């Protein structure tokens, strides 16, 4: 197994593994260590059946279905995300961490590219450890006791965006959860900023108007290039990212082409 870092802070390509085969304990331990170190891993040229993909993901913890989308027939934890040739809206084209409005947001998200456009459709990832580390001591102290209300309804859910993922439970768009603004990673012990522009509504005990100046400051810092890594998808690429300490943004720059991705999420603990 070879791990090739892609930037100074986040992202690595893993070579030498065939994920269709069951990994032994030592290999899986090395893979998990690389994952904790780099936060985003990707694997090229993986030929996986739905069952093999499901089994690989399940090795990292219990799988969780997606509240707003039905799974594939026979595989309830695999969400098929499709943008057709005629659609202009894209799924996930905002900086965010997945499902922060749930009590136990995903620990890991996996995405497997089944069909990709000839160009475009990259995904950007940002390192929330580095964002936290570079805040001033005063701001760290101010943020440490704060908790944020994260809601599924901060950004309106355009039905056109969700048609391709078999939208369901739209009545639950008022779903919300309250989490620490600064999250301690349950495996590494490191601290990361845990607010994002499409789910975080306000700080607990404050109005949205009172909260937005500081939230907007944090949202803007997520976009700084020194925290980021850009993944260029190829067919049969599988990527996995640590939802506890990263954010991501799916670029919507491939109108007129079909894109098919299969997503799985691994259940996480309650953020602390």
The residue written with tokens 């707003």 in the block is 68
- Indicate which residue of 96, 185, 191, 259 is catalytic: 96
| pLDDT for 161 | 45
CB neighbour list of residue 93: distance below 8 Å, 6 or more residues apart: 249, 250, 251, 252
How far apart are alpha carbons 124 and 220 in whole angstroms?
15
Identify the pLDDT of residue 171.
Answer: 54
Catalytic residue among 183, 185, 248, 259: 248
Q: Is 172 a catalytic residue?
A: no
pLDDT at position 67: 85
Q: Which of 38, 179, 191, 263 is catalytic?
A: 263
Tell which residue, 182, 174, 159, 173, has the closest CA to residue 245.
Answer: 182
Catalytic residue among 38, 98, 183, 242: 98
Q: Encoding tokens for residue 225?
A: 């290039």
Q: What is the pLDDT of residue 69?
A: 84
For residue 230, give Cα distances in angstroms to 15, 91, 175, 220: 18, 17, 31, 18
Query: In residues, how long is the chain?
Result: 272
Question: What distance, in Å, lies between the first and last C-alpha atoms of the chain?
Answer: 33
| Dihedral sign from CA coordinates of 117, 118, 120, 125 | positive
- Between CA 135 and CA 141 the distance in angstroms is 10
96 catalytically annotated:
yes
**What pLDDT is attached to residue 92?**
81
Active site residue 98: yes
Token couple for 124: 């950007």
Query: What pLDDT, on a 0 to 100 scale, did the predictor assign at position 68?
Result: 81
61 close to 35: Cβ distance less than 8 angstroms: no
Q: What is the pLDDT of residue 160?
A: 47
DSSP-assigned states of every residue in 157-210: --HHHHGGGTB--GGGTT-EEEEESEEEPTTT--EEE---TTTEEEETTS-HHH
- The pLDDT of residue 175 is 86
State residue 158's pLDDT score: 47
Rounded distance, CA 220 to CA 222, Å?
Answer: 5
Token pair listed for 237: 């690429």
Q: Which tokens belong to 83?
A: 């943008």
Predicted TM-score of the model (pTM) = 0.93
Query: Active-site residue 242, yes or no?
Result: no
How confident is the model at residue 162, as a pLDDT? 43
Strand, coil or helix: what is 249?
strand
The residue ranges of the chain whose pLDDT is under 50 are: 157-165
Helices (H), the chain: 25-38, 50-58, 128-133, 137-143, 159-162, 208-222
Domains recognised in the chain with CATH numbers: 2-267 (3.60.130.10)
């Amino acid at each position: 197994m070879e791990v090739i870092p892609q930037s100074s802070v986040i992202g690595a390509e893993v070579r030498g593994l065939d994920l269709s085969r069951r990994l032994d304990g030592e290999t899986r331990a090395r893979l998990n260590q690389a994952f904790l170190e780099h936060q985003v891993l990707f694997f090229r040229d993986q030929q996986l059946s739905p069952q093999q993909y499901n089994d690989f993901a399940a090795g990292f913890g219990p799988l969780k279905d997606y509240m707003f989308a039905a799974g594939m027939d026979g595989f309830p934890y695999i969400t098929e995300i499709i943008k057709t040739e005629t659609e202009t809206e894209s799924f996930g084209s905002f900086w965010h961490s997945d499902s922060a409005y749930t009590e136990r947001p995903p620990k890991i998200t996996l995405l497997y590219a089944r069909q990709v456009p000839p160009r475009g459709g990259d995904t950007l990832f940002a390192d929330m450890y580095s964002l936290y580390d570079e805040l001033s001591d005063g701001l760290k102290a101010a943020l440490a006791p704060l908790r944020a209300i994260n809601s599924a309804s901060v950004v309106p859910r355009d039905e056109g965006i969700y048609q391709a993922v078999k939208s369901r439970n739209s009545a639950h768009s008022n779903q919300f959860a309250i989490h620490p603004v600064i999250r301690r990673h349950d495996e590494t012990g490191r601290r990361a900023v845990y607010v994002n522009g499409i789910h975080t509504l306000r700080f607990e005990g404050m109005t949205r108007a009172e909260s937005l100046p500081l939230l907007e400051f944090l949202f803007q810092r997520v976009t700084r290039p020194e925290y980021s890594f850009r993944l260029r998808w190829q067919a049969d690429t599988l990527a996995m990212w640590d939802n506890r300490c990263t954010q991501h943004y799916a670029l919507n720059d491939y109108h007129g082409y079909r894109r098919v991705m299969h997503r799985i999420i691994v259940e996480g603990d309650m953020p602390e």
